[in-house]
Chains A and B, each alone.
Chain A
Amino acid sequence: MSEVAKKEIRVQPICSGTVIDHITAGQALNVLKILGITGTSWGIVSILINAPSSYGKKDVVKIEGRELVSSEVDKISLISPGATINIIRDYDVREKNQVGIPSHVEGVVKCINPNCISNSNEPIESKFDVDAGEGKIELRCGYCERVICENIADHLL
């Protein structure tokens, strides 16, 4: 093991907010995208990418001063079904939950079919039914029925 890997990675604990742990390695920036956190967002956001964990590598996102609502959490499950959500108050973990895979999502993903009506200038949001059978997530467009089963993060709105 190299010297770099041996060093412990330290990120300051947060006083209150949300820690999203066990994010699939490499998906942290997509988690921020889902949550609408950009470079101009207010508040402290800490990101760990490829942090060592007991199961290999993981990403972690800590958001100061914001408790996620369930609909935001569910969207994260599309790209990281193993993520856990920790709600922090006064430096204590008050709630710890695994993300739940929603059966339906709206306005989260763009349909891969360029000829789908949801990709035109109509006053609608994209919508997908989510199938999480056999450990693999598939999204079926509610308009054209095209299925997205790979690289879902590439199609996030």
Chain B
Amino acid sequence: MSFEHMHIISMKEFTRDMIDHVLEVAEEMEPIARSKSSSDLLKGKVLGVLFFEPSTRTRMSFEAAMMRLGGEVLSLGSVDASSVAKGETLADTIRVVAGYSNAIVLRHPMEGAARLASEFSAVPILNAGDGAGHHPTQTFLDLYTIKRESHLEGLKVALAGDLKYGRTVHSLCYALSLYGAEITLVSPPELSMPSEIIEDLKKKNIKVTEESSIEDAIQDVEVLYMTRIQKERFPDPAEYQKVANHLQITPEVLKNAKKNLRIMHPLPRTNEITPQVDETPYASYFDQSFYGVPIRMALLCLVMGVFE
């Protein structure tokens, strides 16, 4: 199985075997990511980092992944200080940066930007988020977290929060369907999972149930995947507050949780998980953000062809 020169645009391009392979390579990378061993697998390689939108975790974990493997990072820096501010097209920017690097990681505010970039790039494009579109490396790290902290096959999982606009949960659902998950959805009606996604899951014989309260949902699940509810989705601030309080995770809410429950969150969080939960054995969201490093190490090594 070779990933060399492959663009990583969307999870839909990955079969279960391909995903499993990426997760296996990430496991080999984990000791290096934890600084328990060192590596120069990507020595002499350069990663072009083009972020047209703000990011903390995605950007830094890509850079950390490259550095841990002895590679170099070349960043666009601020969009305002680049040729983009002079009106340069993304296509031209990509062609130029492809000449400077061995792979490009791209975050862009418009949907389809990574697909366009792949058409103009001589080196692999790794999509780090294109507007409301795809963010495949987030899904890979979510799957890796589930594999490391729980188990993937036949997982009982609850997805909670903003299930309408949250691109993370949409592609996670698709990926989990490859592993025969049982999925419980918890969200306010105005932020519920799009019906076409639920229909798609049911067509794949995935059991999908909808619950209105977190307490009811978590009694039987092994992973609770929480997402941020954005204030701007609600015209009425009072309505936002009501929903936010209703879906808040506190130690009290977790009283009836199974012992092996793991709570995940793509971060940043606002009020949906209180800091007191951080101290419980359920909290896996900081491990999750760490796992972004080995998974991105794996993807970089695979697309740059230093690992099969």
Contact = CB atoms under 8 A, between A and B. Distances in A.
Nearest to B90: A122
A113 interface: yes
B133 A121 contact: no
B111 A123 contact: no
Contacts of A117: 90, 108, 110-113, 115-116, 130
B20 interface: no
A100 interface: no
Given A115-B109, A115-B131, 8 more contacts: A113-B111, A115-B111, A117-B90, A117-B110, A117-B111, A118-B112, A124-B116, A145-B133
30 contacts: A113-B111, A115-B109, A115-B131, A115-B132, A117-B90, A117-B110, A117-B111, A117-B113, A117-B116, A117-B130, A118-B116, A120-B90, A121-B87, A121-B89, A122-B89, A122-B90, A122-B91, A123-B89, A123-B91, A124-B91, A124-B119, A142-B115, A143-B112, A144-B110, A144-B111, A144-B112, A144-B131, A145-B111, A145-B112, A145-B133
A141 B109 CA distance: 17
A141 B111 CA distance: 10
Interface in B123-167: 130-133
Interface centre among B87, B110, B133 (most CB of A within 10 A): B110
Nearest to A141: B112
Nearest to B115: A143
Contacts of A115: 109-111, 131-132
A124 B112 CA distance: 12
A116 interface: yes
The 7 closest A-B pairs by CB, nearest first: A143-B112, A144-B111, A144-B112, A117-B112, A117-B110, A117-B113, A117-B116
A122 B118 CA distance: 13
Interface residues of B, number: 17
Interface residues of A, number: 16
A145 B91 CA distance: 19
Nearest to B87: A121
A122 B116 contact: yes
Nearest to A120: B110
Nearest to B112: A143
B276 to A, nearest CB: 38
Interface string A79-121: 0000000000000000000000000000000000101111011
Contacts of A145: 111-112, 133
A138 to B, nearest CB: 12
A115 B115 CA distance: 14
Interface centre among A122, A123, A124 (most CB of B within 10 A): A122
Contacts of A120: 90, 110
A130 B279 CA distance: 52
A124 to B, nearest CB: 6
Nearest to A147: B196
Contacts of B91: 122-124
A143 B119 CA distance: 11
A116 B90 contact: no
A144 B10 CA distance: 11
A117 B189 CA distance: 30
B222 to A, nearest CB: 31
B133 A144 contact: yes
Contacts of B131: 115, 144
